[in-house]
Amino acid sequence: MKVVINASPLIFLAKLDKLDVLEIYEEVYSTPEVISEIVAGVELGYKDALLVKKLADEEKIRQVKVEKDLEEYEELLKLHRGEISTLLAARELGLKHVIVDDKRAIKAAKYLGLKPRSTPFILLEALRKKKLSGVEFKSAMERLVDAGYRISPKLYTRILQKAEDIQK
């Protein structure tokens, strides 16, 4: 499966030191808007930004430029340029899956006929594909929340239950 990923999931996976879970995908794409947003953090000394930059420099995250005018969609969708570029890149590449965390971006992705996945579900998929152990998954979920990831207690519990089901 090929995916296009936005900034937030990249940043959170980097904070967890779990960028390697992206290896579960055949190809990972992002856009120059997303990568430059993250790389701006390198000058501020953010380790997670440096980790993402390294992946982009090594072309483990392939950058694709969106052909459509992002400003037109900013007003229409009320999203940031990075999120818009992520959704449009998926459409232009003919891909179905996008990795986004923002609720509005998730809704917009569905509206555009895309299948959005968020950071916790990427971790869950990594568990399913045995890229993470059960202990690593649970620890990653706890650290994700500690790192400031917003998730409802109900969804958090549901994800942990899915993880248990996968391990049975």
pLDDT of residue 140: 97
> Mind listing the pLDDT tens digit for each residue in 93-141?
999 999 999 999 999 999 999 999 999 999 999 999 999 999 999 999 9
Question: CA 168, CA 166: separation in Å to the nearest integer?
Answer: 6
Average of pLDDT values for 3-13?
Answer: 97
Locate the domains of the chain by residue range: 2-119, 120-167
pLDDT over 80 at 73, yes or no: no
Q: Tell me if the domain spanning 2-119 has CATH number 3.40.190.10.
A: no
Residues 27-70 pLDDT 10s: 999 999 999 999 999 888 889 999 999 999 999 999 999 977 77
Supply the pLDDT for residue 76. 73
Interval 85-103: pLDDT, tens: 999 999 999 999 999 999 9
pLDDT, average across residues 138-159: 96
pLDDT of residue 45: 86
